[in-house]
Structure 1
Amino acid sequence: MALPFVDVSPFLQKGTPPSPVKEASAKSLFTACHDVGFFYLKGHGIPKEQCDLVLDTVKRWMLTATKEEKDAIARKDAGVGDGDGARGYQRVGENVTLGKSDFHEAIDLYATYPSPPPSPPYGPLQGPNLWPKNSPTFSTTFTTYIDQILLLGAALMRCMAVALSLPEDHFEPFITPSFWVCRAIGYPPLTPEAMAANPGGVGCGAHSDYGCWTFLLADETKGALKVKSKDDGEGWVDADPVEGCYVVNVGDMLMQWTNGLFKSTVHQVVHLGSNYRVSVPVFFEPSWDAKISPLETCVALTGGEALYKEVTYGEYLLGKIATNFYTEEKK
């Protein structure tokens, strides 16, 4: 199984008329999402210099911030200080996948909750993002970058609409505004002790993503991101970085929206190198209060029966993040 390429450039400018290049782009997206669930996205228009700045900003902070500086923005449970259960810095091993601790550290950022309370204590996901206090450019760098990804996500949704023979602006009411998520992740090299705790070098356990699209920006490390092969169902395929492209994958919500027509593919990070790996996934999601149910056109293409019930995205997300910091040992 090889990851296909999709060119999104025909959809970057909103409101352009239908064209053969749009049809070709939409067709390639349909095939990539249906057959694989992962692809390389080219023609995205985000400058390399901007991408490099984002990665450098993360790496510099992760490697130079003191324990006290990291603790100052540490994630806390909802209702504890400025914690909302999700936002902020996570130490190595704090993030959990399938009940097991992952070997990475991260800063988690989220879109603004629709009706945030003015001061702590906060409920789940209701607090402000916790930005590094010792890096004055971190927030501006990431805010600018995330804004660019949101435009790109909207463009890919327009491409998806054409791929499904829908009006190009069909998804706009469901994604305006997107309740996006961003993770700034650092994967330290594994020590012998860490290898004993994380057999096989798993930096992030096998999982699928929650929402619509994941736009992955990563450094040049090869052999780390592994995608479950759909050819034999057992093997893993490397999704190595390709210059000028994002690695993009379908999320669970998009799979439900298309009634299983598009595949949310399992993937994991296995980092066995001696370098400190950095990645920045931005998860492009529906609006918090968007009601998502299988599209009629997709139901018709998948046997005529809706396989998923309607969900409100915010409620769905709250249910998912509740398990992000819950290990088997805590059961």
Structure 2
Amino acid sequence: MTLPFVDVSPFLEKGTPPSSAKEASAKSLFDACRDVGFFYLKGHGIPKETCELVLDTVRQWMLTATDEEKAVIARKDAGFGDGDGARGYQKIGENVTLGKSDFHEAIDLYAAHPSAPRSPPYQPLHGPNLWPNPSFSKIFTTYIDQVLLLGAALMRCMAVALSLPEDHFEPFISPSFWVCRAIGYPPLTPEAMEANPGGVGCGAHSDYGCWTFLLTDETKGALKVEGKDGGWVDANPVEGCYVVNVGDMLMQWTNGLFKSTVHQVVHLGSNYRVSVPVFFEPSWDAKISPLETCVAKTGGMPLYGGVTYGEYLLGKVASNFYTEEK
């Protein structure tokens, strides 16, 4: 299995008329999402310099911040100080996938909750983002805004791919309840594996929302995508492209026509790997049910019941910080 390429450039400008370029992009997106669930996205329009600045910002902070500085923005359970159970810095081993600790550190960021209070205590996911410093906040806020425009463009491409009006998904994604992770992966050395039994850089999982736009450094052989035969295929970075994958909401929306493919990170290199995924999600209150056109293409019966995205996300996040009992 190899990851296909999709060119999103015909959809970057909203409101442009139908064209053969749009049809070609939509067909390549349909095939990639149906057959693999992962692809390289080119023609995205986000400058290389911007991407490099984001990665450099993460690397510098992760490698130079003191334990005390990291503790200032540490994730806290909801109801304690400025914690909301999800946002903030996570030390190595704190994030959990399928009950197993992951060998990475990260800062987790989320869109503002539509009913967030002005002051603590906060309910889960209702708090403010915990930024390392104003410069980090400015760089990431600008970058995330650019990726959100890209996500909306890819939703327009998806609509055409499914023979729907190009703006069909706009009410469901305006605004997107996006998620962003700034992640640092130390080398998964034998000593680290012994100290973290059963864990990998990030365990096998699928993503929760619509699209994941992965920005990563040049490290190869770390991101693994599960193939149809159950084996693992490297999704190595390609210059000028994002690695993009389908999330659970798109799989449910398309009644399983598009694949939310399982993937993991196993970083065995000697370097400190940095990655910044931005998860383009539906709105918090968006109700997601299988599209009739997709039900017709997948046997005529809905495979999923309706779900409100925010409720689905809360259920997933609740399991991200609790390991299986030894």
**Residues 274-304 of structure 1: CA deviation (Å, up to 9, x unaligned):** 1000000000000000011000000000011
Give secondary structure in 1 for the equivalent of 2:181: strand
- Aligned residue for 1:120? 120
Q: Is the Cα contact below 8 Å between 2:75 and 2:86 reproduced in 1?
A: yes
Give secondary structure in 2 for the equivalent of 1:17: coil
User: What pairs up with 1:214-233 in 2 under 5 angstroms?
Assistant: 214-230=212-228, 232=229
C-alpha distance in 2 between matches for 1:9 and 1:26: 11
Deviation, 1:193, is: 2.7
Q: Is the Cα contact below 8 Å between 1:190 and 1:272 reproduced in 2?
A: yes
* TM-score, normalised via structure 2 length: 0.98
**Residues 153-181 of structure 1: CA deviation (Å, up to 9, x unaligned):** 00000000000000000000000000000
- Aligned residue for 2:129? 129
- Aligned residue for 1:43? 43
C-alpha distance in 2 between matches for 1:253 and 1:179: 13
Amino acid at match of 2:42: K
- Aligned residue for 1:149? 147
C-alpha distance in 1 between matches for 2:197 and 2:271: 18
- Aligned residue for 2:260? 264
After TM superposition, where is structure 1 displaced by more than 3 Å over at least 4 residues in a row?
A: 197-201
Percent identity for Structure 1 against Structure 2: 87
User: Considering only aligned residues, what root-mean-square deviation do their CA atoms show, in Å?
Assistant: 1.0
User: How many aligned positions are there?
Assistant: 326
- Aligned residue for 2:23? 23
1:182 to 180, 183, 195: 180
Amino acid at match of 1:148: Q
Q: Is the Cα contact below 8 Å between 2:93 and 2:196 reproduced in 1?
A: no
Give secondary structure in 2 for the equivalent of 1:249: strand
1:300 to 289, 296, 301: 296
**Residues 216-250 of structure 1: CA deviation (Å, up to 9, x unaligned):** 000000000000012x1x21000000000000000
1:282 to 269, 278, 303: 278
C-alpha distance in 2 between matches for 1:147 and 1:285: 13
1:249 aligns with 2:245: yes
- Aligned residue for 2:98? 98
**Residues 36-68 of structure 1: CA deviation (Å, up to 9, x unaligned):** 000000000000000000000000000000000
Q: Is the Cα contact below 8 Å between 1:201 and 1:272 reproduced in 2?
A: no
- Aligned residue for 1:75? 75
Amino acid at match of 1:34: R
User: What pairs up with 1:47-66 in 2 under 5 angstroms?
Assistant: 47-66=47-66
Bigger shift: 185-194 or 265-274? Answer: 185-194
Deviation, 1:190, is: 2.8
- Aligned residue for 2:193? 195
Q: Is the Cα contact below 8 Å between 2:92 and 2:103 reproduced in 1?
A: yes
**Residues 78-114 of structure 1: CA deviation (Å, up to 9, x unaligned):** 0011100000000000000000000000000000001
Deviation, 1:329, is: 2.4
Amino acid at match of 2:207: D
Deviation, 1:194, is: 1.1
C-alpha distance in 2 between matches for 1:201 and 1:86: 20
* TM-score, normalised via structure 1 length: 0.97
Give secondary structure in 1 for the equivalent of 2:93: coil
- Aligned residue for 1:168? 166
C-alpha distance in 1 between matches for 2:306 and 2:131: 35
User: What pairs up with 1:205-216 in 2 under 5 angstroms?
Assistant: 205-216=203-214
Deviation, 1:199, is: 5.5
